Amino acid sequence: MELQLSEDQELFLDTTRKLLAVEVPIPAVRALESDPAGFSTAYWRRGAELGWTSMLVSEADGGGSFSDHGLLDLVLVAEEMGKLTAPGPLVPVSVVAHAISQEGSADQKAAVLPGLLSGDEVAAWTGPTPIAAEVSGDEIVLTGTARPVEAGAQASHLLAAATTADGLTHVLVPVDATGLTVTPLQGLDLVRRFAEARFDDVRLPLSAVVGEVGGAADLAERLLQIAGVLQCAESCGAIDRVFEMTVEYLGDRYSFGRPLSSYQALKHRVADEKVWLEASHGITTAAARAVATGAPDAGQLVSVAQAWVGPHATELIQDCIQLHGGIGVTWEHDLHLYLRRTTLNRATYGTPEEHAERIATGLLGAAS
């Protein structure tokens, strides 16, 4: 994403690329299609050793990053994962680890962070749409259904967003809590797993609340921004690789004694795709910087990125499939893996239409 990286970031990026190339090349991704988790624990532990899970956790809690802003380091991982449609719960683990590090109690940090930072455990976030909750004495009672929850069936804990009489509240829920049922769902992506989490009067002590009852609105917005930035970075990585594959194919494939890349009509299509690609990188970088530095317009920039990258990523890949001809629509070709990933990203953590509405609402609010 960034044009200039520090020496530490360059080394981290190079090491991440090598790990992904060895552990999860495209054939390995295909082989994980029927795996219940969609990734191997050993692979995820190796990523955690590199720092994938610790970038958004404070140093006091065992985390750390290579630059002043861990999110800018983490988007490098997301982009590289997008280039291989790599598996792994990068978004939910990063979001939950950040939330617990920022507002969790000492007991919550001790229960969750060591396993997340080592890669031995996974945590999931139920997402921005809250379930219902009620404070009853010294307990909080959760009711409702959250779906889709990324890595929900692989998680040891869920970070649930819930609406109480006092406002939005985050609750840390162990997956063995009485009344909680987590059901795996079928998904479009070969290796990304989602689940439905049903809360049937799940009773937990008030010590399970992350932060204060009714005080989660600001953190929830930040978690949504982090998830959106990582998702856009991954989609940028995916279309980067697809564009590279397509340009190479057009140069190698001949028609009537000429490479396909020599035809003016195809040149215009590729030029348009290049504009979409670079614009996607540009707006995602701007959004990442804004979120990392806590800029006032961070939420708006993330929505702009989501509204742009989502539809342009899927349209770019669809066009590249057409440019590949018949081979592009076969199961054996890798293009559909990238289309699956970007289509899923387009629909998760807010659709382009929903983010466009957020932008419009923000502009109207500013004008008034």
Give tens-digit pLDDT for 50-86.
Answer: 999 999 999 999 999 999 899 999 999 999 999 999 9
- Band of pLDDT at residue 269, cut at 50, 70 and 90: very high
Domain 7-118 has CATH 1.10.540.10: yes
Looking at the DSSP bridge assignments, the partners of residue 339 are none
pLDDT over 90 for what percent of the chain? 92
In the numeric block, the tokens 């190479």 are attached to 248
Averaged pLDDT for residues 227-246: 98
Report helix, strand or coil for 140: strand
Cα distance between residue 306 and residue 316, in whole Å = 15
Q: What pLDDT does 365 receive?
A: 73
Beta strand 180-185 with 194-205 is antiparallel
Taking only the tens place, the pLDDT of each residue in 248-257 is: 999 998 888 8
Residue 193 has pLDDT above 90, yes or no: yes
Domain 123-210 has CATH 2.30.38.10: no
Averaged pLDDT for residues 290-316: 97
Residue 368 has pLDDT above 80, yes or no: no
DSSP string covering 26-80? HHHHHHTTT-SSSS-HHHHHHHHHHTTTTTTS-GGGT---SSS-HHHHHHHHHHH
Residue 161 has pLDDT above 80, yes or no: yes
Q: What pLDDT does 108 receive?
A: 98
Residue 295 has pLDDT above 70, yes or no: yes
Cα distance between residue 352 and residue 280, in whole Å = 13
In the numeric block, the tokens 């190698």 are attached to 252
Q: What pLDDT does 174 receive?
A: 98
Q: What is the Cα gyration radius of the chain?
A: 21
Taking only the tens place, the pLDDT of each residue in 204-214 is: 999 999 999 99
Taking only the tens place, the pLDDT of each residue in 83-125 is: 999 999 999 999 999 999 999 999 999 999 999 999 999 999 9
Report helix, strand or coil for 152: helix
Domain residue spans of the chain: 7-118, 123-210, 217-367
Residue 4 has pLDDT above 90, yes or no: no
Cα distance between residue 281 and residue 1, in whole Å = 6
- Band of pLDDT at residue 178, cut at 50, 70 and 90: very high
Cα distance between residue 147 and residue 15, in whole Å = 34
Angle in degrees, CA 265, 269, 275, rounded to 5 = 145
Q: What pLDDT does 363 receive?
A: 79
Written as six digits, the tokens of 51 are 């720092």
Looking at the DSSP bridge assignments, the partners of residue 172 are 159
Residue-averaged pLDDT of the chain:
95
Residue 43 has pLDDT above 70, yes or no: yes
Taking only the tens place, the pLDDT of each residue in 135-151 is: 999 999 999 999 999 99
Q: What is the crossing angle of helices 217-252 and 335-347, to 10°?
A: 160
Written as six digits, the tokens of 34 are 């029927």
Give the right CATH number for 217-367 from 3.40.50.1970, 3.10.450.50, 3.30.450.20, 1.20.140.10. 1.20.140.10
Peptide bond into 148 cis (omega under 30): yes
65 backbone dihedrals φ, ψ, rounded to 5°: -140, 175
Cα distance between residue 328 and residue 309, in whole Å = 22
Cα distance between residue 215 and residue 213, in whole Å = 6
Chain centroid to Cα 254, Å, comes to: 38
> Beta-carbon neighbour count of residue 299 at 10 Å?
21
- Band of pLDDT at residue 1, cut at 50, 70 and 90: low
